[in-house]
Amino acid sequence: MSSSNRKSSENRLVYREFGNDNSAALQRPMSAALERPIEELPPQQQNLRVQATRAGRKGKTVTVITGFQSKPETLQALLKQLKAQCGTGGTVKDNEIEIQGDHKQKILEIVTKLGYKAKISGG
């Protein structure tokens, strides 16, 4: 078999059970119709919950701020400000901000000064 015949036979699809394969899905850009628009609400209209938790974090305490209805860029800017004010690390996961350590009171003061409606949740 020549090398050109071998290449064409390697690329030939014989059987596919479930639609597209992963490589084809990654090459195709996501359609604008499938993307969910994120409605950016002003801080006064957002109700945030601040709570300290250890669940699923191997005993490490993390302060989680939930209830955001903002774009990822806005959350990143707020995260940077909170990390600097608290002097710790943190991240944005699933439209929630996580700050390392128990900083409920401090974060509550900061976000209320920024105009958000916030409450401490949990014990």
- CATH code assigned at 107: 3.30.780.10
pLDDT at 17: 74
pLDDT at 33: 58
Residue 81 lies in a domain: yes
- Is the confidence at residue 66, as pLDDT, over 80? yes
Residue 112 lies in a domain: yes
Q: Which domain holds residue 113?
A: 43-120
pLDDT at 122: 86
Q: How far is CA 84 from the centre of its chain?
A: 20
Question: Residue 37 has what DSSP assignment?
Answer: P
Tokens of 43: 């801080």
Residue 113 lies in a domain: yes
Query: Number of structural domains, the chain?
Result: 1
In whole angstroms, what is the distance from residue 51 CA to residue 58 CA? Answer: 17
Vertex 100, ends 99 and 106: CA angle to 5°? 60
pLDDT higher for 34 or 84?
Answer: 84
Residue 17 lies in a domain: no
Q: How many CB atoms within 10 Å of residue 66?
A: 15
Residue 90 lies in a domain: yes
**Contact indicator for 101, 63 with CB cutoff of 8 Å:** yes
pLDDT at 87: 96
Q: Token match 């800017």: residue? A: 77
What tens digit of pLDDT does each residue of 84-112 get? 999 999 999 999 999 999 999 999 999 99
Residue 34 lies in a domain: no
Residue 85 lies in a domain: yes
Residue 13 lies in a domain: no
- Is the confidence at residue 5, as pLDDT, over 70? no
Judge if pTM exceeds 0.85: no
Poorest-pLDDT segment among 19-23, 67-71, 117-121: 19-23
**DSSP letters spanning 40-93:** ---GGG-EEEEEEE-TTTTT--EEEEE---S-HHHHHHHHHHHHHHHTS-EEEE
In whole angstroms, what is the distance from residue 50 CA to residue 35 CA? Answer: 29
